[in-house]
Chains A and B, each alone.
Chain A
Amino acid sequence: MKVKVEEPRPRVFVVAPEGDVDMSSSPEVRKAMAPLFRQGTAQVIVDLSAVPYMDSSGIATLIEGLQLSHKGSIRFTLAGMSPSVEAAFELAHLKDVFEVLPDAQRALEEGSIR
């Protein structure tokens, strides 16, 4: 799996996995995302617009991110969820636990006016 990491603004990172996030690929998402929760980071945005499918391994990875964000007082945002990924979050009663925005651009814009 390809996971792109960009810093479009200082201290704001966008992590963008491409493809299904399941037991085989979630370790790669974790590997790309976890080091970003370091001192000085203001926000981590996970752009899910190129993720057609996610299972509980992927969701667990994002919960780990959420926990790291709480520890570091870092804003953590999920963006661009497909309907099937959104349905999995709803099944897990997790949609309201995360900050979820329609797309990464919106997440960046909202971050800049905070």
Chain B
Amino acid sequence: MTSRNQISGPILMEIPSDPSALFLVRCLMESLSQRLCFPEEDVARMTLALDEACTNVIRHAYGERADQRIVLRFLALDDRLEVQVRDFGVSPDLNALAPRDLGEIRPGGLGLHFIRGAMDEVQYEIPEGGGCLLRLVKFRRMGDAG
């Protein structure tokens, strides 16, 4: 049996690349990270980060087509929560993925900043067959309750 802070296997979720489905991703991320006793401030940031990751997939990988696949894999381990976001669209240019300068006041480009600000590890990978695999990790801190 595992402790309350881990779940013995991955949790899988697949959504269409439809912005109307993003609330489901937020619900799962929020519930899971609360259950794992992350502080409320982290829960909000992690939820925002995953929402932004999926928004980027819809916008950039799928060009806002709403009928494509986004597969999410959540892994709740004793020391961390790991979320993988897999898409099958246009692969990003890994060298061009950088948050913009926040000194510029303009719409757009904030998503990557939110993702990197919330998560401890952010790794993009181009899998065989194309698309993208994004791996997001948040470590539990010593002293997080639970």
Partners in one complex: yes
Binding site of A, secondary structure by majority: helix, strand, loop or mixed?
A: helix
Chain A interface size range: 20 to 34
State the Cβ distance, A98 to closest chain B Cβ, in Å. Answer: 10
Contacts of A20 in B (CB 8 A): 23, 26
In the assembled complex, the Cα of A53 lies from the Cα of B41 at a distance in Å of 13
Complex partner residue of B26 from A53, A57, A66, A94, CB under 8 angstroms: A53
Which of B26, B44, B113 has a CB less than 8 Å from the CB of A92?
B113
Chain B contact residue count (CB 8 A cutoff): 25
How many Cβ-Cβ contacts under 8 Å join chain A to chain B?
A: 61
Bound together, the chains give a CA A97 to CA B110 distance in angstroms of 15
Complex contact A24–B22 (CB within 8 A): yes
Chain A residue at minimal CB-CB distance from B18: A24
State whether the Cβ of A50 lies closer than 8 Å to any Cβ in chain B.
Answer: no
Binding site for A on B (CB under 8 A): 18-20, 22-23, 26, 41, 44-45, 48, 51-52, 55, 58-59, 102, 105-108, 110-111, 113-114, 117
